[in-house]
Chains A and B, each alone.
Chain A
Amino acid sequence: MATPVIMPKLEMAQETATVVEWLKQEGEHVEKGEPLLAVETNKATVEIESPASGILAGIRVKPEQVVPVTEVIAYILQPGEELPREAEIISLPLPQAPVPPPVRATPVAQRMAQDRGVDLSTVVGTGPWGRVTKVDVEAALSVSHLAAGVRGEKVRATPAARRIAREREVDLSAVTGSGPRGRIQAADVLAFTPAPMVVSEPVAEVVPLTGVRRVIAERMATSAQTTARVTLVTEADATAFVEAREQLKADVADEWGFAPGYNDLLGIIVARALREFPYMNARLSDDGQTIERLAAVNLGMAVDTERGLLVPVIRNADQKGLQAFGTEFRALMERARAGKATPEDLTSGTFTVTNLGMYDIDAFTPIINLPEAAILGVGRIQPKPVVQDGEIVVRQMWTLSLVFDHRLVDGAPAARFLQRIKQFIENPYLLLG
């Protein structure tokens, strides 16, 4: 049978050898032990001896070729033998190093993913065998190595402190550490009493903060946090005002289709006052760099609806007579209360008036309806004893609360504006001027 000549492994870590030259030719007779070819290993040039006596045949490698060890490079045939067919050539496989089963993620990556709520199956692994590493998880969190340390301090706590915190469900970030460098120790956690929870009462009803409510909430918060709010309060003698309204009610209610109320009259007065004091009909520009005095006086009259506070706007209120104002106001109110108010109804206001008098309120500090400069809150009209010409008389008194944004208007100018409104209220005939 044909004897294979293999490229031998000569050194401990050898994987290949380079053929230098064949010392015997194809078809030559060789003796066992005779050198057949010279090969080069890392260390030196070595001669490979023939494993058997016979005819050298089937040379498969040539000089300068790099051959893996144990590969068949030729055959020694006995007389009459033929070379094995290709299919029969078996070169002995080297035992493979076992491929370790791929590990999905490194322990650090697993822990980090768990702590930060990252779904490991969505993270692309760049480690060996597609292993997910810490860097991969950080990438998933869009946290770079450098940023990780900057993004909020990690809590320093001993293992014992952490264990107790876990057991007692204490939030470590709320605990102050008494150990070195502020380290939280077990005693610190044991001594920690958390702030009382707000929700200890049973909850009766849950109202989702959505839609109108949500918008109101956001706008109120923004206004309260950004404006420099100052409140001016004064009492106006509304005796004549009340009389005027009574008179009008009697005269025009049928013709106009509605009985004019205090709000209508007040609206006319405020609109007129805004015309006289244009700096009260102003707002801060969007970029916060300029105060814009507005051309039109669009008066917003705050209305309480089922869905919450709405402020329908009567445009160009200073150019409307009482009837027009009142009609438009009622129409707006109806639409608002029916939930059919349009965006136009509710936008472009330049000043807002809000009345809580029907609830026996006197003075209050309404929140400015941004981006307006001020808001007028009025309470109830009620008879009160006042001093007039040294005598006590009973008059109808009305408390007016003007909350203005001191960023746009100073106190004295605002006070003059309010004073003017008071004057109009005390002497409605001035409106004829």
Chain B
Amino acid sequence: MRELSYLEAVREALRQEMQRDERVFIIGEDVGVYGGAFGVTLGLVEEFGEERVMDTPISELGIAGAITGAALVGMRPVGEIMFMDFTTIAMEQLVNQAAKMRFMFGGTIEVPFVLRTPAGSGTGAAAQHSQSLENWFVHVPGLKVVMPSTPYDVKGLLLSSIRDDNPVIFVEHKLLYKTKGPVPEEPYTIPLGTAEVKREGRDLTIVATSIMVKRSLEAAEQLAQEGIEAEVVDPRTLKPLDEETIFRSVIKTGRVLIVHEACKTGGYGGELAAVIAGSEAFDYLDAPIVRLAGRDIPIPYNRNLEYHTVPQVENIIEAARRLARGGV
């Protein structure tokens, strides 16, 4: 199978869905001729025209309102906010309006849109361009939150997200854009709310999101040489969460290491840990649930500091080793 980069996979999904469904359009800053802040939408405006690949002024709140309103009257917008940090400006429309309209209006309305947003650190962009705020959106009833980790996953999940009738926050890690992997040419969907065991193992379970999946798999390779077989589970959709796949893995191994980039305090790991501890998997835990996450600091500019602010492969190895050897 041919290989695509994560970025190309996103673009392909957009293109194929826009070809299939004329209600789908893209809207965001610099998505047109500029090709998107990270190059994701390059070439699309030439194919679909400015009316379906719309550039906007710098107006994140307006973008959120635009996709909300257009979705209300039957369009399927795919909005882009070029850094997840700027979703803060759009919060009112996303949280107070889009997420709640269906419920407030007794189920008589739908708000089907996707808001794509690049997140995460590692590019030296520092505190205000490097955040991972996915747990804020997980916390809002009415929204769905997707965080794909591979080119294969991102294409299938994006197609599913666009076809979903709810507002979906679609989080792409910047450092994943250049990663490559096999991607089928034809359109295919991966259902939202399905996790995947990316690697099987029996000594411990690593539940990782986004770029931490890749790092966990690298860590697992090295751990295998020490005789520690790690099972890596990728939730893929944070909300709704595929709990069963995670429980099954925990029951199998008895030890869980949760890895995510976002700050530890108030991060998704806390939610996962509580879900696991409160489930039937509890009786199979042979060690405390361990979270490895970003430090509770804004992302620093200095390269070395930035590197050591979030979990890296060696951190995952160390944490996994300690957990597998029973020293926690």
Contact = CB atoms under 8 A, between A and B. Distances in A.
Interface stretch (B2-10, B112-120, B284-292): B284-292
A178 B327 CA distance: 10
A133 interface: no
A185 B324 CA distance: 12
B244 interface: no
B73 interface: no
A262 to B, nearest CB: 71
Interface string A138-164: 000000000000000000001111110
A180 B326 contact: yes
Contacts of B326: 178-180, 185
Nearest to B328: A180
A57 interface: no
Nearest to B281: A159
A69 B328 CA distance: 60
Contacts, number: 29
A160 B328 contact: no
A160 B283 contact: yes
Nearest to B277: A159
A186 interface: yes
B294 interface: no
Interface residues of B, number: 10
B327 A160 contact: no
A158 to B, nearest CB: 5
Interface string B258-286: 00000000000000000000000011111
B32 interface: no
Contacts of A185: 286-287, 326
Contacts of B284: 159-160, 163
Given A180-B326, A180-B328, A186 B254 contact: yes
A158 B285 CA distance: 7
B255 to A, nearest CB: 9
Interface in A216-266: none
Interface string B280-309: 001111110000000000000000000000
Interface string A187-206: 00000000000000000000
B283 A186 contact: no
Contacts of B327: 180
A161 B282 CA distance: 11
Interface in B40-74: none
Contacts of A161: 286
B249 to A, nearest CB: 14
A50 B286 CA distance: 73
A203 B41 CA distance: 86
Nearest to B284: A160
Interface in B160-203: none
Given A160-B283, A163-B283, A185-B287, 8 more contacts: A158-B254, A158-B285, A158-B287, A159-B282, A159-B284, A159-B285, A160-B254, A160-B284
Interface of A: 158-163, 178-180, 185-186
12 contacts: A158-B285, A158-B287, A159-B286, A160-B283, A160-B284, A160-B285, A161-B286, A163-B284, A178-B326, A179-B326, A180-B327, A180-B328
5 shortest A-B CB distances, which residue pairs? A160-B286, A163-B283, A158-B286, A159-B285, A186-B286
